[in-house]
Structure 1
């Protein structure tokens, strides 16, 4: 039995031995297998250059796999660089076989003692292999890396390996290779580097992100000083060299010089990568000529810096600016933040593409829908608190926290009143506005329309500055949609960009857009809200809209001429609110200065010349929006779509003959009679008019009158409408608050001439009240029927009955 076991053991050992011999043979043979020279071929592609439309270099991007500015041969490498790299990265480079056994053993012992990875002991050859093949960070990957390093050492000289390494290794900020790093950080070729500068660059290799000179220059210098000390201890430099290098000041080229229009360039690169097949897709591109005008960009950067500095006390830290050329869609200026390189204000956040609440800048698209339907610029809109609508209707506040009564659509938009915009949207429908915004390109609004509700017109959704500016450029082209363009030409070939503009598509009615533009360019109609001599006053006409989001977290100014569309955002990337800074005080001054810069040498073409066919004018009363009548004190010219102009004279200005002694009705031929014009508001606005102190027309005959009953007064359709509460409302009794303090306000609008109404609750009279016809009802549990009744010209008029529910 033991003999059998011994025979089996010898047989097994023989098999294992043969297997090991085969493996060893294969391993040795594999070391001598030639590697394809293409794996380490010098790249023919140059570094990718991004220029503005005039050829000004904005950015030079160096791909780890692609082009270099200059590929240096070994004999072109500065001796100081070679000494610094070898001393810091692989001191036995010229003696090991690709794997440093001593360093590997030391690293293994250090890692075992510490319980985690302290050192990887990778040689320069192994690092080169890692750059070229990207083996995984596992034990098997490490073995593959070592095996390939041995093969590389068998085929290439030490000088070739070092040259390959120094032309490929990353020095942070997308600088690959010592030549690129030298030009990036010091503005000179590598052959002119001092010893201190060479060691400084060598120190970046270990952790390019952590030692990034443009982010952590202090750490990078500390790293350099530590390496100099190490080299001195290892006798890699003498005392004189050491002292001179230690004391030499490291003077970096400012980052702004190497990275012009940084957000724009990053956006260009990301766009090309997404359209291609990843980063490799842009390796063969040598140059991208963009639409940007750097002369304009630089001026805008200075404008923004100056204005944001002035707002520092108001907790304003940032701004973003986008300028589009309307005829081509070209991006002429693209500023994503006040300072890309300032981490304290999150400068690398791109404000052009960030999602923010747009405030009132979406209102024009609500009114565009209204003008396409039965509204005109003269249509009266209710800017009042009490309005008979569905229960639990959304009711915002105006910016000035006032109610302005009946306002024409032109005034409502020019003054950016919130309540009329919401009332219009309630009529049009949130779904219609949501669809229209998507037609304009607001793809950021991804929730269902019900998610936003009527607040959509006030900007409760989140959009980007790019989307807003693009949408307003469509208005500038009178309804023609044209995507923005950033690239004019790609060299040596152009699969991603073209110098030909895309054709603009007429998507919206030019007649309606003309009316909308006319309102947005009307500074006079906005005086009631914004006052005179605002930052939007320019020596030429522009159509412009401001916006401020809730709690002053964002403010905007978006506007255009026939030539350009400008979008401005001002705020803080951390979401903190500004101190009472609105679009008119924050973004508008920047808008003004950018417009003046664009038209420094010539005035713009007239924005409102050549109205499209189908636009007519009519002279209207500014208060009622109807045709000017005899008693109207003023009139103005308004624009209308043909067929929508008013045909009825104004009825709000009514003349009465009154006795000057008591302002009561009399005959025109009596002594002391005078003709007096009263404002006779429709019933919907009577409560508002009473609160504002407007006198009501007289309804009683003066006792001084000689002829009784011949004065005719205007009668209206008799009706009383309850505006508060709403039919079906449910209220809960507060168990803590004393019952006598728990009341519900009853409010109604009544016909002209009615001086008193009686409120009824459950068919019992509750209270008799005069204008403004409000009463406070002490709530009680149960279902309650409420109506109001009054007398008009000897007839009793009663409102529709409503029901409210009170629960305990």
Structure 2
């Protein structure tokens, strides 16, 4: 009875001990064997390696590959562990043989470790004692229980040392042969298979004869095992062994760095990604930019970048953030100019044009003033320093005129445009709208190439989706481009499309048509005669001080954005968008497929009667009327303000009033009349412009014809007069226009007579600092009075 009582606890203790040993054995293997940092690796969409960066611990260690080349499997099993597929993690026969060999040699000449045991040893990095060997045996058996043979080979191939700071088959293949493991020959794979056995002794470039012998012995062994035939083995022995490690490809280093920065935000666990980049296009664009950079370096222009987006998929096709030249640190080639915030020059003008069409401020060809302008001390200038008087909005855009753009923004309000830019995805506007003011349309803000290209891609995607969503809008059209293949978003369901978009189809379509009218560099406007030429909507931009040169272009399939300049912001003469960025843009487009142009969104356009001369909605007195396709919001625009009815005498020679001509005898005739300042320049460039007839002698002007207008300075202008080169005080050129080309004007400043002008009404004067009143009187007593201020020093 007592024996029975004491036997039961012993049985319980033994069961508990067995259970504890079983649990210890099961949890002996950590959930993740290898914790060492891995290299960042970027592959193209076809799997080709584009760029890689060394791991944090200074090792070239690629993330674990999903598959292992069959050649490596056969080579490594033949060399290290022939019974790999038969044993449970420990090869008793191999261990017994190793012990016998070591005993006879009185030294460790063979380890008898299986590949499973080597995986454990690589993960633990413990000293090689008998106790550690026993633990490796147990862990190897445990490893085999929950992992397939293929998975164990993957762990070995990804973590085995291959000499120097090279870890893993993938890294070794690129470092020693500059190719992927899948493309290696039998001789090359056999070379790599023997390296982990003694990487410190058998190193490519050192002890080459020992490496050759080990490789050749393995090839003969594989021939004996019938894995390869002897002829293949003999030919493989003739292959050269690698020398010193080769540099890894650096064909997209800036995108790789971008991924390193954004990996946490993207919530991607691995450090290797398959990108959306087109491998061949990436290399072509890189080489193209290198050629242009070599050319521009003669003018001390050091940096160039380009971004190519696929409109239909919303993905990045090519990403060259700079010409990567780490050996020349002064070039700052490490700076990713695609992410850099720079002045956009004129590249935002199409966005203003589209926004004004969308919101009913203008029609596509509405006349915009192009005259000397001063707004609160701000005086924009056109690039050619000339004036058109008035110019259609689409022509102002295609010629990239600054003054019409500022006039348009003054009408649209810069606060509204600021909000619109944010909606479109310009994320660098980190100050209040008042900080930028009207200068925002001429490059007074900063944008990144990423945001700029994204915005134009959004517009192109919107127009492409017109038929897809039956006139509705995809709210994700302006989402950021995707550069990781797995991140591509599914298309939007029809029921999720929205009624309104940021910009409507019609406004975008009109904008792209206006952008297509630009004359291409080097083609003198004749490109349209060649049917093979690709239709491209494009825009250039140049920042103040010639620091940044831009070109952005698009088709229904692609958006291309190019930036040229210096990363440190140094300006250079001749650094303009049309001269240095546009040629690169069109060379890139020549590498892209030539597709069809955007379809006209006919169901979203309406036909409107438009005054041909003014581009406004046709009014009662417009004689020459055309029908145009315009956005629905065109109904909000005003009637033509420049056509009015004038009254002529019975001979239709002079203007008259009812004071000097009977109304029954008057000839009433519509006339296109611009304000005097606009007329002053417009008539020079438009020979068909007809000036208003003079009043009949004896007739008095009723005084509402605005016969005079000050061109410069504008009312309440603040003017600083600089010193001339000889130290003398300079002068201000006052300029006024008069409807009567033969009129005399009497000039007075502060009621003191100054001079008389006839026909050409300009005076160079040097008023004293302070506030002054200018009074102009013509022969008929018409007066023009306005104030201006001369500054004693230049405003900050």
Normalising by the smaller structure, the TM-score range is 0.5 to 0.7
Gap change, CA 1:614 and 1:67, over 3 Å in 2: closer
- Is the contact between residue 521 and residue 543 of structure 1 (CA under 8 Å) also seen in structure 2? yes
Q: Deviations over 1:526-583 (max 9, x none)?
A: 5999952479987232211111223333222212222222222223334344441432
Alignment of 1:166-181 (within 5 A): 167=159, 177=167, 179=169, 181=171
Aligned residue in 1 for 2:400: 416
SS in structure 2 of the partner of residue 550 of structure 1: coil
Match of 1:264 in 2: 255
Which secondary structure state, in structure 1, belongs to the residue aligned with residue 410 of structure 2?
Answer: helix
1:181-220 residue CA offsets vs partner (Å, 9 max, x unmatched): 532321277973799999998999xxxxxxxxxxxxxxxx
The 1:436/1:199 distance shift into structure 2, 3 A limit, reads farther
Say whether the 8 Å CA contact 1:359–1:550 is kept in structure 2.
Answer: yes
Q: CA deviation at 1:691?
A: 8.0
Question: What is the CA-CA distance between 1:616 and the residue it aligns to?
Answer: 2.2
Question: Aligned-pair distance for 1:339?
Answer: 3.9
Tell me the equivalent position of 1:682: 675
Residue 341 (structure 2) pairs with residue 358 (structure 1): no
Q: Does residue 1:182 correspond to 2:168, yes or no?
A: no
* Cα distance change, pair 262–461 in 1 and its aligned pair in 2 (3 A): same
Q: In the alignment, is the contact (CA less than 8 A) between 2:389 and 2:679 conserved in 1? A: no
How high is the TM-score relative to the length of structure 2?
A: 0.63
Aligned to 2:586: 592
Hey, what does 1:486 align to over in structure 2?
482
Note if 1:448 corresponds to 2:442.
Answer: no
- Which residue number in structure 2 is paired with residue 767 of structure 1? 755
Give 1:783 deviation, angstroms: 4.7
* Alignment of 1:717 onto 2:712: no
Higher mean alpha-carbon deviation, 406-415 vs 646-655, is at 646-655
TM-aligned CA deviation for residue 468 of structure 1: 0.8
Shift of 1:343: 4.0
The 5 Å alignment of 1:716-755 reads 717-728=705-716, 741=729, 743-752=731-740, 755=743
Between the aligned partners of 1:698 and 1:470, the Cα distance in structure 2 is 49
2:309 corresponds to: 324
Partner residue in 1 for 2:45: 53
Of the candidates 483, 500, 522, which is equivalent to residue 490 of structure 2? 500
1:275 aligns with 2:262: no
Q: Report the Cα offset of residue 447 of structure 1.
A: 2.2
Q: How many residues align?
A: 626
Match of 1:373 among 354, 360, 365: 360
Residue 381 of structure 1, CA deviation: 1.7
Match of 1:797 among 761, 773, 782: 782
Partners of 2:761 and 2:562 lie apart in 1 by 47
2:604 to 597, 613, 622: 613
Is 1:378–1:625's contact at 8 Å kept on the other side of the alignment?
Answer: yes
Task: Select which of 454, 458, 461 maps to 1:470.
Answer: 454
SS class of match (2:779)? strand
Give the deviation of 1:689 after TM superposition. Answer: 5.7
| 1:363 CA drift (Å) | 0.8
Query: What is the TM-score normalised by the length of structure 1?
Result: 0.62
C-alpha distance in 1 between matches for 2:328 and 2:414: 40
Contact 2:370 2:388 in 1 (8 A): yes
Contact 1:687 1:771 in 2 (8 A): no
SS of 1:397 mapped into structure 2: coil
5 Å-filtered alignment, 1:211-360, equals: 250-256=243-249, 259-276=250-267, 282-283=269-270, 288-339=273-324, 343=328, 345-360=331-346
SS at match of 1:361: coil
The CA deviation at 1:768 is 2.0
Q: Distance in 1 between matches of 2:607 and 2:491?
A: 34
Instruction: Give the structure 1 partner of residue 390 of structure 2.
Output: 406
Distance 1:353 1:568 in 2: 13
**Runs of at least 5 residues in structure 1 that lack an aligned partner in the other structure:** 1-32, 78-93, 96-127, 134-147, 205-220, 229-247, 491-496, 666-676, 702-707
- Whole-angstrom distance in 2 between the partners of 1:579 and 1:742: 27
Which whole-Å deviations, capped at 9, do the CAs of 1:642-673 have from their partners, x for residues lacking one? 5368865975999999x9xxx999xxxxxxxx
Take 2:730 and 2:321, find their aligned partners in 1: how far apart are those partners?
Answer: 53
Q: How many angstroms apart in 2 are the aligned matches of 1:541 and 1:745?
A: 45
SS of aligned partner of 2:782: strand
CA distance in 2: counterparts of 1:487 and 1:314, whole angstroms = 34
Q: Cα distance, 1:342 vs. partner?
A: 5.9
Alignment match, 2:412: 428
Give the aligned partner of residue 510 of structure 1: 505
Q: Give unmatched runs, 5+ long, in structure 2.
A: 1-23, 82-106, 109-119, 137-154, 178-183, 209-240, 464-472, 656-669
Determine the C-alpha separation between the residues in 1 that align with 2:587 and 2:730. Answer: 55
Contact in 1 for aligned 2:645/2:671 (Cα 8 Å): yes
Deviations 1:202-257 (A, max 9, x none): 999xxxxxxxxxxxxxxxx9xx99x99xxxxxxxxxxxxxxxxxxx994543533x
